[in-house]
Structure 1
Amino acid sequence: MTTTLIYVMGPSGAGKDSLLAWVKSRTPLAARIAFARRTITRAARPGDEDHESVDEAAFERLRDGGAFALDWQANGLRYGIRETELVACGANGVVVVNGSRAYLDVAAARHPGLTVVHITAGLDTLKQRLAQRGRETAAEVEQRVLRSLSFRPPSGISVFDIANDGALEDAGASLQKLILDAANAVSGE
Structure 2
Amino acid sequence: MNRRLIYVVGPSGAGKDSVLSWLRQHTPESAPVHWARRTIDRLNSAEPGAEDHEHVDAVAFEQLVTDSSFAMQWDANAHRYGIRHTELIRLNDSSGCVMVNGSRVHLPTAARDYPGLTVVHITATPDVLRQRLLARGRESKQAIEARMMRQIPLEIPLGCALVEVHNNSTLDKVGQQLLVQLDAFEFWPDSK
TM (norm. structure 1) is: 0.89
2:26 maps to which residue?
26
- Following superposition, the deviation at residue 146 of structure 1 comes to 2.0
Select 1:166's aligned residue among 169, 172, 181. 169
Q: 1:118-147 CA deviation, whole Å, 9 max, x = no partner? A: 111011111111111111111111122222
4+ residue stretches of structure 1 with deviation over 4 A?
Answer: 88-92
Select 1:115's aligned residue among 115, 118, 127. 118
SS in 2 for 1:45: coil
Identity %: 45
The one-letter code matched in structure 2 to 1:36 is A
- Following superposition, the deviation at residue 158 of structure 1 comes to 4.3
| Matches of 1:83 and 1:102, distance apart in 2 | 20
Whether the 8 Å CA contact 2:23–2:175 is kept in 1: the answer is: yes
- Once the two structures are overlaid, the 10-residue window that deviates more, 101-110 or 86-95, is 86-95
Indicate yes or no: 2:165 matched with 1:133: no
Whether the 8 Å CA contact 2:118–2:162 is kept in 1: the answer is: yes
Indicate yes or no: 2:179 matched with 1:176: yes
Select 1:85's aligned residue among 84, 87, 94. 87
Q: 1:31-65 CA deviation, whole Å, 9 max, x = no partner? A: 10111111111111212211111111111111111
| Matches of 2:129 and 2:167, distance apart in 1 | 10
Indicate yes or no: 2:149 matched with 1:146: yes
The one-letter code matched in structure 1 to 2:165 is I
Query: Structure 1, unaligned stretches of length 5 or more?
Result: none
| Matches of 1:79 and 1:166, distance apart in 2 | 29
SS in 1 for 2:153: coil
Q: 1:80-132 CA deviation, whole Å, 9 max, x = no partner? A: 11111111576552100000001110000011110001111011111111111
| Matches of 1:63 and 1:86, distance apart in 2 | 17
**CA RMSD, 1 decimal:** 2.2
Whether the 8 Å CA contact 2:31–2:189 is kept in 1: the answer is: no
2:38 maps to which residue?
38
Select 1:60's aligned residue among 59, 62, 69. 62
Indicate yes or no: 2:127 matched with 1:124: yes
TM (norm. structure 2) is: 0.88
| Matches of 2:110 and 2:42, distance apart in 1 | 22
SS in 1 for 2:108: helix
The one-letter code matched in structure 1 to 2:136 is R
| Matches of 1:84 and 1:131, distance apart in 2 | 36
SS in 2 for 1:60: helix
2:7 maps to which residue?
7
- Once the two structures are overlaid, the 10-residue window that deviates more, 115-124 or 41-50, is 41-50
